[in-house]
Each structure stands twice: as structure tokens, then as C-alpha cells.
Amino acid sequence: MMLGYLGAGALLAALVMGGFSALLSFWSGIRQSATFIQVGRRAFYAAAAMTFLSAVVLEVALLTHDFSLAYVVEHTDLSTPTALVAAAFYGGQEGSLLYWTVILSVLGSASLLASASLGGRVAAYAAGILASILTFFLFVLAVVASPFDVLSVTPPDGLGLNPILRDGGMLIHPPVVLAGFASFAIPFSFACAALLAGRVDAAWITHTRRFALLAWSLQTAGLLLGMWWAYHVLGWGGYWGWDPVENVALMPWLATTAYLHSSQVQERRGRLRLWNFGLVITAFLLVVFGTFIVRSGVVPSVHTFAISAIGPWFFGFLVVCLLFSALLLTLRSNLGVEAKPAPAVSREGAFVLQNLLLLGVVAVVMWGTVLPLVSGMFGVQRVAGASFYERAAGPLLAAILALLAVGPLLPWRHAGRATLRALRWPVAAAIVTLMVLLIAGVRSAPALVAFPLAAAAGATALTEYARAALRKPRSLLRKRRRYGAYLAHLGLVVAVTGVAASHFGQQERDVTLQPGEAVTVAGYSLTYAGSERRQLTDHTEFVAGMRFGDQTLEPSRATYAGLGGQALTHVAISTTPTADLYVVLAGTNPDGSATFRVFVNPLVIFIWAGGAVIILGVLLGNVGERSAATELARRRIPVTLPA
Amino acid sequence: MRWGLPAAVVAACVGYLIYSASGGATEYYMTVSELQAHAMAGDVRVAGVVQDDVHRSDGLHVTFTEKDGTASMPVQYTGTLPDIFKPGITVVVEGKLGGDGVFHARTLLAKCPSRFSTQPYVK
């Protein structure tokens, strides 16, 4: 009970410090008072420290099974393994909000520490905006959805964690996704601060890009881990279902992908300044929108979310952020005036087109997500199935893939004959792939577009490496950012190949087998060896043995007696270099037979491997990359506008 | 070159893609009583609560009654069932209402009790 009061007290202290920091930072930014700017920033650090303290308190309460707290009772019980008790910190509504707030306050502090080079006013406004966002979250935590609510009667045991969440993936996927979501606030704050102060220079881009890259990397990892988790745990044979929860995580990622590319146009050519601000702001607004959608239950989802009191608060927050950003962008629209138009066929042109296409995908995903809401207002609700997203976003994704092959070969400013010559390798790769597919008997038009384009994009990245290695081997190390980016492109090509192969080539079969009987799916032969019952501490497992070559796959069903007999299916997956054999035990029958659903999913491992390469490329290209930043700051003359 | 023209072209393409996909690839999402009030030709998704009469002939074939506040309908489904499927939970079935009054479900989704939905403990 003491812990409850301590945690609530720490939250309240953080709220007061956060609000103080917000007001003081804005005021001192306007007055340009260096001392008070410093004080405002320190108040932010203090709020961060108090938030962190409350998080420690909640974690201690969970680990010591302090059942006087409603949150501990609702999400754990005495039989929950310790690692999962610790993970329950971000396993529930209130705790996940607290986790989000902690990440926001810690990353926010780090970004403010690093903000000295931006000048006093930008740093002060950024602190003010960050502190305002932090204050909003702390207010929701302290007043609307507190993880420290104390029960009037302390029960002897808790309600426990849903078995589907009792999985290793639970330890890693949610914290990465939530950290990704939280970190989008930092580029947003610095973008708005620079707009408020009327300062748009290379230092802003360098600082914002670093944190946008961090948010993007976390979100990339979070999306991949979510797909991996869904694939290995949920047992429907796929990894992406276009559920609103997935969609809202994808949209800010797409907008930030656009920003990471278009910011180079500003760095190199001084163009697209207002556009870049718009992208950073859009990414954050999409995060707030997504949080509202997901936590308020306004759209039907496979995930049911508690109709909680935080929905209206997030809606209000979204409206405020939207109005504030729109006002800022309108006030500073003079930044968008560009001296001279750029030629269409150039690197800049490719980046702009890529940006437009990515935003097109965002529009498709957004429409699919809000369709039930919009159609519900005018009659019977409609929902968008997977085929809506495939038909509407598919052509846009194909165009992006084509740009991935052409864009890196285009020079800045003007493209000449040399570009056409450089295109011969990607074009050759596409033609060869198309031939191979046609000879192999592939007739699906989308597949005949996707694979050759992926091959072309891969060929482009490889020829860039080859050219550098032959002519200027040292540039591979010197221009780390560039060659890191090509590695990320290669990773994307590998992942896209995996997505396309498993999408177009998935085979599935339902079979009922007696012990000793065999089935063949897509050339893979499986023999049902029989099944056994295993009694474990908190659940019973029914395990079927499936012989595949010299290995035995063990799909199973577990039943948790303590949780009203809830069942949990464990998928068995055998990964070969060309395909995953994915076996689900659908049920057992009185005559001793068992029913299975068997999937053969080609090249799924390419998705995970490609994802890892993307993140590796971003890390190799950017971690410790200091020279480029300082060089940029030296080369660019700051553009200062009258405030 | 100004960016207005390419932006307009891309926006028009995106608009067309969304419009054309909306026609064929979206489905009505309704309750049992709404489905019975409007007969639908194409596939629909229907949400309702699973009643006690669940009958499984083997691991893959199942029949049950789905009910909302007022109306109910028999459902026939072949495929793997979600782990949490049992009487009393809310499911969303996707398929067609047959002439025999039986709903033939192509997919069956259970409303997943997610991280954010534990029943609040009585405070």
C-alpha cells in the first residue's frame, strides 16, 4: 500500500515539474533569458527523474506481488513466471502508458542535453513543447488512468496474465513498439521549435534526423518483432493482417521513411524545407491518432480494447496538436518559397516522387483504418479486408520498388546519358528474373511485377557497391551513411522477396490423420506419429508428433485449468532454406485421429533476415557518424527569419 | 519544376486506387439483427456472441448459434478455431448467409482479449 502512495506521489511531483518546465521554457524562450532556459531544462530533467522513480515503484510492486494495487492484481498472479511479472509493467493500459512516458522523458532529456548547438531559443521552445507533451501524459497517468490505484480490500492472489501473452515475444515486442511510438515526439518537438523560432538550418536537420532515425529504427524493429510474434504464436499461418493495431504502427513508420529520404534534399540542395517539417509533424500526429484509435475502441479490431476513459483525452490531445501544427506551418509558409525550380529527372525528383508514393500508401492505410468509422456515420459499417489494402497499396508499393532501382542511380540536379548506361544492370536483372519466372510457370501478374522489380532494386545497390569498390575503395568507409543506406536497401529487397514469395506462394491444407498416416503438402511429406498428454505445473499439454525427415515437429494444445480452461495452441515450424513448414494442431478426435492445418510458406526467413540487414545498414551508416554532421553544419549558412 | 503537378497526379492515382478497391474489396460489418433486416448479396462480417450449442464433428468442422441482443442465426464453419473459442465469447464471422438461413463462414475471428482488456477488478 505504501508503494501505491509513493508511486502516485512521484507521478504528481513529475506532473508539477513538467508543467513548470513547459511554462518556464516557453516564457524564457520568448524573453531569451539564458538562465531561465537552463532552469526550464533542469525542471524537465527533474520531471524525468520523478517519472522514472514511479516506474521503479511500479516494477517493485509487481515483483513483490503487492496485491493492494489494482494494477498488480489485474495483470499478474503468484504462479506467473518472474520474467512475465516484470513484463506486466507494460502489459496493461496504465502500465504501458507509464512506460511510454518514461521513454519520452528519458529520450527527451537526452535530446535536450544535445540541443546546445541549436541556439537558445530553439532549445527553449523544444523543451517547452516536450514538457507540454510530457505533462499531458503525466496528467492522464495521475488523474485518468493511474497504475497506482489502491484496492480497498487486498486479495490473496491476482487474476493472472492471459496465456497468449505468456510468451518470450511478450518480453520484447511491446517495449520496442512503445519506445518507437514515444520517440516520435522528439523530432516533432524540435521541428515545431525551429518553426516557432524561425530558424531552419543544417544544425536542425542534423539534430532532428538523429532522433528521427532512432524512432524509425525502433519502429522498424517493433514492426518486425510484432510480425515475428504473430507468425510464431497466433497460428494462422501469416504475419500481417491489416488490423487497425498494425496499421497505426505502420503509418508513422512510412511518414518517417519519407522524411529520412527527403531530408537529404534539404541537406544537399536546401530545398523542401517546409515539406520536411510537415513530414516530421505528420509522423507524430499519426502516432497520436493511432493511440487514440487503438485505445478508444472506435474501430472494430480483432484486438478488443477496454473502453477506457483515456479515449476522449487522447482525442482532445490530437485536436490540440493538429491545430498547433497547422497554425505553425501556415505562419511559416514563407519557408516553402524556393529560389529556382528543380529538374524533374534528378535525384531530388526521385525523392519527391518516393515521398508522394509513401504518403499515398499512408492515405490507403488510413482510409482502410477509418472506413468503419466513416461508413458507420452514413449507414451500415463497412470494413476493409486484406484485399482492399493489396489492391489499393500494391501498385504504389510496386512503384516505390521501381524507384528503389532507379533513384540511387540518378545524379543530383540533372540526369544525362550516363544515367541511362547505369540503368543497364538493374534492367538486365529484371529481365532475367522475369524470364526465369515465366519458364518456371509463374503466371500471376502481381508476382511477375514484384520479383523482377525487387531484382532490379537489388542489382542497383550491388552495382553501386561494385563501382565504389573498383574505383574508390576508400569511399566505402568514408561515405558510411551512403553505403549504410544501400545496405538497408538490400535488406529491404531481401525482405520484400520474402513477403512476395510467402504471399504469392503460400500453400495450405487441412488433414485428419490416424497415427502412422502420412500427408504431402507442396512436396513436403509429414507422418503423424501419435500424440501424448503432458501434465505441467499450471497447464496440461496435448502434444502431437509429426515426423518430417529425421526431425519430429511437435504442434500442441495447452489447456490452462486455472484460467477457466483457456486453451493455447503452439505452432510447430520447421524452417528449410526455401520454405517454412508450419503445422497447427486443430484438434483431436475420439477415434484417435488428429486434425492438422499444414501451411507451406516460402522464404519467410527472408523477411526476418532482410529486416535484420536493414537495421544493420542503418546502424553501420549512422552510429558514431560525426564527421558528416559537423561538415554539414560548417557548409551551410544558417537561414534565419525574422520572428 | 514545381511539385504541384506530380503531387496532383499521384494524388489522383491514389484516389482512384482507393475508390476502385473500396468497391470490390470492402465488406459490410454488422450485427446478426442488422443482417436479418437487410439481405446482403456479397460477403459480410457479422459480430455476435457464441451460444451454448457448439457442436464439433472433428477438429475442423463446427456449427453453433451466434446471437446479438435480439436475433440469432446458425453458423457453419470449417477451419481452425481460435484458442479462446467457446460459448460466451464474441466472434466475427466472415461469409454468406445461405438460402437455408445458415451462415456459411469462410473465416472466424475471436475478439482477442488483448493486453489492454482485462476485466477491471472490483474496486
Question: A–B: how many Cβ contacts below 8 A?
Answer: 189
Q: What pLDDT is stored for residue A401 in this prediction?
A: 95
CB-nearest to B80 from A300, A586, A589 is: A586
Q: Is residue B88 part of a domain?
A: yes
Look at B22 and A568 and tell me if their CB atoms are within 8 Å. Answer: no
B6 to A367: CB separation less than 8 angstroms, yes or no: no
The average pLDDT across A297-323 equals 78
Residue A235 vs residues A5, A34, A205, A595, A641: alpha-carbon distances, Å: 42, 58, 43, 14, 57
Asked if pLDDT for residue B119 goes beyond 60, the answer is no
For residue A302, give the chain B residue with the closest CA: B111
Q: Give the ipTM.
A: 0.82
Query: Searching chain B, which residue's CA lies closest to the CA of residue A393?
Result: B17
Domain total for chain B? 1
Residue A424 has pLDDT above 70, yes or no: yes
Confidence band, pLDDT 50/70/90 cuts, at residue B47: confident
Asked if B71 and B33 count as a contact pair (C-beta separation under 8 A), the reply is yes
Q: Where are the domains of chain A?
A: 1-166, 507-604
Helix (H, G, I), strand (E, B) or coil at B99: coil
CA distance to partner chain A, nearest, from residue B59 (Å): 4
Three-class DSSP category at B104: strand
Judge: B29–A381 Cβ closer than 8 Å, yes or no: yes
Give yes or no for residue A638 having a pLDDT over 50.
no
Average pLDDT over residues A385-412: 90
Q: How far apart are the first and last CA of chain B?
A: 64
Residues of B within 8 A of A96 (CB-CB) are 115-116
Asked whether the beta carbons of residue B17 and residue A235 sit closer than 8 angstroms, the reply is no
Over chain A, what is the mean pLDDT? 87
Determine the pLDDT at residue A189. 94
Q: Would B81 be classed as within a structural domain?
A: yes
Q: Please check whether residue B7 lies inside any domain of the structure.
A: no
Largest CA distance in chain B: 68
pTM for the model: 0.90
Which carries the bigger pLDDT value, residue B111 or residue A207?
A207
**How does DSSP assign A98-127, residue by residue?**
HHHHHHHHHHHHHHHHTTGGG-HHHHHHHH
The answer to whether A349 contacts B81, with C-beta atoms less than 8 Å apart, is no
CATH no., domain A1-166: 1.20.120
Q: Which of A93, A162, A512 is facing B58, going by the closest CB pair?
A: A512
**Average pLDDT of A529-552?**
85
pLDDT value for B72:
86
Chosen from B80, B81, B84 to mutate, greatest number of chain A CBs within 10 A: B80
pLDDT in tens, A11-64: 999 999 999 999 999 999 898 888 888 899 999 999 999 999 999 999 999 999
Assigned domain for B12 exists: no
Is residue B72 classed exposed, middle or buried when 0-12, 13-18 and 19+ CB atoms within 10 A define those classes?
Answer: middle
Q: Which of A174, A352, A385 sits opposite B26 (nearest CB)?
A: A385
Domain CATH for B68:
2.40.50.140
Mean pLDDT of the region A301-318: 75
- Rounded CA-CA distance A408/A419 in Å is 10
Task: Find the domain containing B95 and state its range.
Answer: 27-110
* Listed ranges A77-86, A172-181, A566-575; the one with the highest mean pLDDT: A172-181
Residue range A430-442: average pLDDT?
93
Residue A427: the pLDDT is 94
- Find chain B residues with C-beta within 8 A of A392's C-beta: 14, 17-18, 20-22, 25
* Averaged pLDDT of chain B: 78
Q: Please give the Cα distance from A175 to A168 (Å, whole number).
A: 12
Q: Residue B81: what pLDDT? A: 79
Contact A510 B56 (CB under 8 A): no
- Surface of B (45-104) touching A: CB under 8 A: 45, 47, 56, 58-60, 78-81, 83-84, 86, 90, 92, 94
State pLDDT tens for residues A205-264.
888 888 999 999 999 999 999 899 889 887 788 899 888 888 999 999 999 999 999 988
Residue A280: φ, ψ to 5°: -60, -40
